[in-house]
Amino acid sequence: MDSDGPEEGSVPPRSGIVCHPGRERRAARAHHPGALDGAGRAGARRPGGGGSSGDPLVDRTEQGLHIERLIAEGGMGAVYAARRTATGEPVALKVLRRVHAGDPGIASRFAREVRLARRIDHPNVCPVLGEGRLEDGRPFFLMPLFRGVTLGEEVRRSGPLPLRRALALADQILAGLAAMHAARVVHRDLQPGNVLLVDAPSGAGEAAPTVKLIDLGFAHEPGADTGDGVTPGSPGSLVGTLRFMSPEQAMRSRAITERSDLFAAALLIYYALSGKLPFRGRGDLDVLVAIVRSSPVPLRRERRDVPRVLDEVLTRALSKHPDHRFAGAAAMRDALAAVRA
Q: What is the pLDDT of residues 270-308, one digit of tens each?
A: 999 999 999 999 888 899 999 999 999 999 999 999 999
Which of 101, 59, 52, 97 lies closest to 78, judged by CA?
A: 97
Name the active-site residue from 2, 4, 59, 189: 189
Are residues 195 and 268 located together in one domain of the fold?
A: yes
- Mean pLDDT across the stretch 61-74? 92
Indicate the residue among 81, 113, 144 that finishes a domain: 144
Say which DSSP state 327 is in. Answer: S
Are residues 69 and 126 located together in one domain of the fold?
A: yes
Single-letter amino acid code for the residue at 238: L
- SS3 track for 1-54: CECCCCCHHHCCCCCCCEECHHHHHHHHCCCCCCCHHHHHCCCCCCCCCCCCCC
Indicate the residue among 97, 126, 144 that finishes a domain: 144
Could you tell me the CATH number of the domain that includes residue 107? 3.30.200.20
Question: Rounded CA gap, 125 and 212, in Å?
Answer: 5
Are residues 123 and 218 located together in one domain of the fold?
A: no
Question: Is residue 124, in this structure, part of any structural domain at all?
Answer: yes
Indicate the residue among 118, 144, 170 that finishes a domain: 144
102 C-beta neighbours (distance < 10 Å), count: 9
Q: How many domains does the chain have?
A: 2
Helix (H) or strand (E) holding 332: helix 329-340
All residues at 6 or more sequence positions from 200 whose CB lies less than 8 Å from its CB, including other chains: 207, 208, 209, 210
Are residues 284 and 186 located together in one domain of the fold?
A: yes
Are residues 165 and 286 located together in one domain of the fold?
A: yes
Active site residue 305: no
Question: Is residue 1, in this structure, part of any structural domain at all?
Answer: no
**Mean residue pLDDT across the chain:** 82
What is the reported pLDDT for 35? 19
Are residues 209 and 299 located together in one domain of the fold?
A: yes
Is residue 29 predicted with pLDDT exceeding 80? Answer: no
Question: Is residue 11, in this structure, part of any structural domain at all?
Answer: no
Are residues 316 and 202 located together in one domain of the fold?
A: yes
Strand-pairing partners, residue 114, are none
What DSSP string describes 70-108?
Answer: EEEE-SSEEEEEEEETTT--EEEEEEE-GGGTT-HHHHH
Between 5 and 147, whose confidence is greater? 147
Single-letter amino acid code for the residue at 81: A
Q: Per mean pLDDT, which range of 5-9, 48-52, 258-262, 265-269 is the poorest?
A: 5-9
Asked if 81 and 20 count as a contact pair (C-beta separation under 8 A), the reply is no
Q: Which domain holds residue 307?
A: 148-340
Its pTM surpasses 0.95: no
What is the reported pLDDT for 10? 32
All residues at 6 or more sequence positions from 247 whose CB lies less than 8 Å from its CB, including other chains: 253, 263, 291, 292, 320
Q: How confident is the model at residue 236 (pLDDT cuts 50, 70, 90)?
A: very low
Are residues 164 and 228 located together in one domain of the fold?
A: yes
Are residues 121 and 168 located together in one domain of the fold?
A: no
